[in-house]
Each structure stands twice: as structure tokens, then as C-alpha cells.
Structure 1
């Protein structure tokens, strides 16, 4: 048995490895031609690369298979090293991994067919042994190539992300020195976002983290569809900033659709505030967008795209001022009567429609009338008076901004 294990594989009385060694160079050229013919990506590779690096690694593979057949053993780590280096180069060039694996699988299939197509009944034992070695080769090479390719891609992605974060940080800080030599877009749509939680994020810790990363990937991809250049972002599962490179300021309806599409892609509600700015104004635009978003969230606005014009009063009331507390204080007489305050709030939100107010509060319209009269008598503010109506609206907004205990 030991002698049999050490004996070279035979085919028709001739060692298989010798049959292969005699035609390594010619067969390598035929295989590379097959790659270019049957794998679309290889068809687009430069002739210099096909005749050079691709042919050399194909020759190496064929000689590695010769050694396997001669010594009846799987590939060694040293033999796999050139394959790993080649896979890393293909990753750097942007060759898709599926095309790379397709070339290996096509090559080994053609080698098998070339060597064993005329095998006879007396070759069965050695053909079966060769088949086991080929399966071992395929598994080992696939693992080595994938590991090297993905390792290189991960390193490249890490470098790209580091460069992207450095660019975002420099833009937000207005650091012109750090941006020297960086190619910037003519302008950026600066989008401050707040993201709802995806249902899958409520799973176990590892599963929830994966769901969060998938959510962010889908969100970035959705924004990228609107830009020809790389979208920049600083995001975590709860939201953050997205900088969409655009040549000019888009129409507001386009921004609304962009945010709505991002929400659909991510599968979560997305609140966003957006400002377009040239690179030098990105810091101010980001600050304003974040402030507007804070107002939007604090005032209970629905998901979607918002701008300063949508929350002018609420925004102004969030600025430091003694007037805010004074406005909120106009409704202090209602603090002991929460039903009156709820009625007054609903009455304004429904556009002074007493019937809709009654439906919202599940009371009779006459009850709405009674409560409104009581509110007027306690505060002296009558919503039927246009001037006082503005003061009531401002007072309600101020109360929301100051918090539930005002």
C-alpha cells in the first residue's frame, strides 16, 4: 500500500505528470485564450497582461498540478504563495472575484478533459486518485485565492474609508490645508439625518449590529444613485451627515424624493434636513442642517426632507431669548387644566375646525366650544382674533421647545 501511495499516477502506462509537463507552455497559452473567449472580463484585459502575468500564473498552476500528480499530495503553502499574490493584484485592478474563480475552475476543467478524455478501463484506479487530487486542488486554491483577494479588498476599503473620513472631517472643519490636493465637487448637498431602527436591529447583539450595518449600506447606496462622484458620509445606526456631491443646487422636490428613496431602501423612517453649499460653506451648511433637524425632531414633524423655511418659527424659538419663556408663559393658566390645553392645541392643528377637533378628541362639538370659552376666559387669548391667534400658536410652539414640564 505504501509503495502504491508513493507511485506517480499513470495513464496508459505513462506517468500523468510527464504527459502534462511536456505541454505546459502550449497548454497555458490555450487556457489563457479560453479565458479571454469564455469569461467576458478577461476579454477586456490588456493583451500585455494576458500574455504576461496571467500566462505566468497559469504556467505555475500547471506545474503545481504536475507535482501533485507526481507525489500524490495536495498543493503546498509555498506553491500557493504566487496564487495569493496574483489574487491580490487582481483585487487591486478591480477584477471581480467571480471572474477570477471562473478562470481557475475553467482551467482545471480543461486540464482534466485534456489529460483523461482517453483514459481506459485499466486506468480507473489512477483516474479516481487523480480526481481526488483535483478536488483537493480546487478546494485549496479557491480558499487561498478568496482569502488573498478579500484581504486585499478589505485593506483597500479601509484605506478608502480612512481617506473619505479625512476628507469629510476637513470639509466640516474648513481645513483648507488638509484639503490641498483633494479633488472636491463643485458643491455638496449636506444632509443631516436621523434614522429609525430597523426591526432586525432588535435581534441579538451580533445580529442587530449586522442589521444596522446593512441599513447604512442601503442608505448610502440610495444616495449614491443621485451622484456621479463618491458620496461622503459620517453615519452610525441612529443617523449622521451625508454629503452628496452635486454640481448645482437641486430643486427641493428632488431632495424630497432623494430622502424618501433613501428611507425606502433602508427600510426605516428617515428624518432629514438639507442645505446645498459650495465646499467652503460646508461647515456652515452642516451646522444649520443639524440645527434644523433637531428642531424637526423636537417639534414632532413626520419623516421626510425638511428645510429651514419649514420650521422658521420653531427654529427662531430655539435660539436663546427671554421671549421664549415669556411666550410659553402666556398659557400658564392652562397648566392645571390639561383638557383645555389639549383642546386648544387640537383646534389650531385642525385649522380651527371644531368638528374635526371633536373627532380627534372623541368628544361632542359642544364640549369643544365649552373648553375653548374656558381657555379664553383663563388666558385672555381668543383664537378667533387673528392677532391673538398668532400669539397662541407661538406660545404652543414655545412650550414644545421648552419641554413637557412648561
Structure 2
């Protein structure tokens, strides 16, 4: 990996004799550093032969870089990563974590500090230790910078993979392709998906997405975040305490409505739920008193008006067909009640029955459909379902 090279301050002016001793003893110094690593770092001994060889090369290049730096007192700055250590940072990232890399640097410095006082002349010992400390500090910063840049690149790539998964679910691509994309982002949940759609904030950058993802994994096993235009879309797997979890992340969305839909199956089959939440977000403005967040299934009339065939089917099958199959005048009673302006007396006169009979039938409507005709919002849902069913 090529990185912008941090630079060291000017070299410490050590004597020519000290440099000669350091050059002649570089091989022994490297060997002692390797022995010190074996003794002090447990994880180092557990690495494979090739991995230890890569780290020994890092130590060798580091000592060689120190000598080169001290040999050029006229140079005020020297790049550390690319010219002095060659491909060592790349090898380092492939082998160990940043924490272990810094442990490695610390152990190398300790070994060099223990060995140097017995090598160089007395008048150069303090200057040489100062040089080692300054040089090792710059090396540590340079390697940390390489790790940080690599993490940013991985984060950007992960965000692209997540965006592709969100797009595949919304488009309803074949289940095999969705499953493959889900596996690529590390999706582990076999069932239980919640899709959340809301307005994206103005600053929906990589940092924002990373922070939102960390919030989501506190109440879900999996969390995928995608930004599509002005919409922020979440795919959550195996959610626990959905209501409380949504309340925590609502402030992350923009000022508009937030719509969610739940699906009991796998993510590869979640297209219909994702579409219901996506269309529900666009339709939510028609219900001015809707809660925030609102479930997509509570927006059936608005979604039907937007042409959502799934919503029309749900209204017809879960309300109209159920009422018609229930018999006992339920369909006729709720129709008359809605057309009579929610008047029990007018409904009773229209049907030639007692008002108590109307009350009983309306309660039965609530029992069989889950929607209460007496409630204004529920009555609107019922009225839309009756219209859809007759059409």
C-alpha cells in the first residue's frame, strides 16, 4: 500500500565512530531483537514461519533505516514508510493487528535500547538513545497512519457492498443473488428482518453510517445501512425490542417520516416487506397525524392510493373477503355504518334492526378484522378496504 509518508525531524548528530559500530553490529543487533521478540511476545511465537520471517524483515529494515537516517545529517527529513521500510507496512497489516504492530515496535525499541549502550562510545550513548526514540516514534506514527488508511478503504468498500445488498432487496433480485450479497457483508440471521426507511440527513457520510450501524447492532444481530438518494434505508436482522431500538435511532434520520416493516423469513425473501416500507415512506405524508415511526401495515390506505398492489391485496384479503366470509350481515352493517356518517341510529334504520344489534355487529367486525369501525382512523382503513374489494 502506498501512503503519504510522514517525515522525521532532523537526525541526531552522533559521531562517526558510533555509526561505524552500529553498521558493523547491525546483523547481531537484528538477531538480538528477534530473540527479544521471541521472549517477550507470546503471540509472536505462535505465528507461522513465513509470518515471523516477515516481521523479522520489518525489524531488519527498521534498523537499516535508523542507520541511513543517522548517516545523512544534512537531510532534514526522510520518508519512513515507502523508502525506509519498503513493503513492510503492507506485510504487517496482512499479519497482525494495529495493537500488535505497536507492541512489536515497542519491543524492538526495548531490545535496541538494551544493546546500544554497550556498543557505542560513552559520549554517544545518550545521543544514540535519543535518536532511537525519535526514529521509533516516527515509525510508529507512520505505521498507524497506514493502518488508518487501510481501515478507511475497507470501510468504503463495506459501504458499497451494503448499498448493493439494499438495492438487491428493493429490486427483488433472485434469492440466490440476495443471499450471496448478504453473505458478502457478513449477514448471519436466517430469519427475522426489519426494513426501516426514512429521510437521510444532510451529512450521511461514512462516519455517520458507521456510527448508525454500531447503534443498530445493540438491538439487532445484523445491521446494513444504505443511502438511496434522499432516503436512508436500514436492513436489520433478528431484532430484539424493536420499539425501544427504533426510538434510539430515530434522531439519526432526517426530519421526515420513518416507516418500518417486519418480515419473519430470510433476507433473500424480504423484497415485499422492503417495498412496503419504501412505498410507505412516500405515502406517509397523506396521513398527517401518523406516529413517528409508523409501521408500513398501518399505511395500507395510503399505499393503496399510491398504487401498491401488495397493500391492495392485503386490504381485500384481510378485510373485505374476511367480512364477506363471516356472514351474519357484518359486511352490510359496516357498509351502512360508514355511509351513514358513523351514526348507529341511521344504520339501524337502514338495516331495519335495533341499535344494539348494530353495536354487536360492529364489535364483531373489530374481532374478525382487527380494525374498529368506531375509531376514525380504523374506519378510514375499513372504508378503503371495502372500495378496493368491490373494485
TM-score class, shorter: 0.5 to 0.7
2:194 matches 1:232: no
**Partners of 1:393 and 1:61 in 2: how far apart?**
80
Q: CA offset at residue 35 of structure 1?
A: 3.1
CA offsets 1:96-127 (integer angstroms, 9 cap, x no match): 2122122113212321232126888x62xx34
**Matched-pair contact (CA < 8 Å) for 1:165–1:233:** yes
**Matched-pair contact (CA < 8 Å) for 2:14–2:128:** yes
SS in 1 for 2:127: helix
Structure 1 stretch displaced more, 20-29 or 178-187: 178-187
Matches within 5 A, 1:3-402: 9-10=14-15, 15-50=17-52, 52-72=53-73, 76-77=78-79, 80-81=82-83, 83=85, 85-93=87-95, 95-116=96-117, 123=123, 126-176=124-174, 184=183, 187-193=190-196, 212-213=208-209, 215-222=211-218, 226=221, 231-235=223-227, 239-244=232-237, 255-257=239-241, 260-261=244-245, 264=248, 272-278=260-266, 280-290=268-278, 300-301=290-291, 308=297, 311=298, 315=300, 318-320=303-305, 330=338, 385-388=359-362, 392-393=373-374, 395-397=376-378
Q: CA offset at residue 209 of structure 1?
A: 7.0
Q: CA offset at residue 46 of structure 1?
A: 1.6
CA offsets 1:42-101 (integer angstroms, 9 cap, x no match): 344222211x211112111111212333444666227753536322333344x3212212
**Matched-pair contact (CA < 8 Å) for 2:300–2:381:** no
**Matched-pair contact (CA < 8 Å) for 2:192–2:264:** yes
**Partners of 1:276 and 1:98 in 2: how far apart?**
40
**Matched-pair contact (CA < 8 Å) for 1:68–1:74:** no
Structure 1: gaps spanning 5 or more residues: 245-249, 335-374
CA offsets 1:146-185 (integer angstroms, 9 cap, x no match): 2222222322332333233324323432334966975746
CA offsets 1:210-258 (integer angstroms, 9 cap, x no match): 984464132343256x25xxx43325897423153xxxxx6xxxx4426
Aligned length: 324
**Matched-pair contact (CA < 8 Å) for 1:195–1:268:** no
**Partners of 1:147 and 1:86 in 2: how far apart?**
13
Structure 2: gaps spanning 5 or more residues: 1-9, 306-311, 320-333, 350-354, 366-371, 384-391
**Partners of 1:180 and 1:275 in 2: how far apart?**
16
**Matched-pair contact (CA < 8 Å) for 1:273–1:293:** no
CA offsets 1:294-327 (integer angstroms, 9 cap, x no match): 89995645769x685xx4xx63675348999x98
SS in 1 for 2:196: strand
- Structure-2 change in CA distance of 1:279 and 1:190 (3 Å): closer
Q: Determine the structure 1 residue equivalent to 2:388.
A: none
**Partners of 1:181 and 1:238 in 2: how far apart?**
24
Superposition RMSD in Å = 5.0
TM-score (norm 1): 0.59
- Structure-2 change in CA distance of 1:33 and 1:111 (3 Å): same
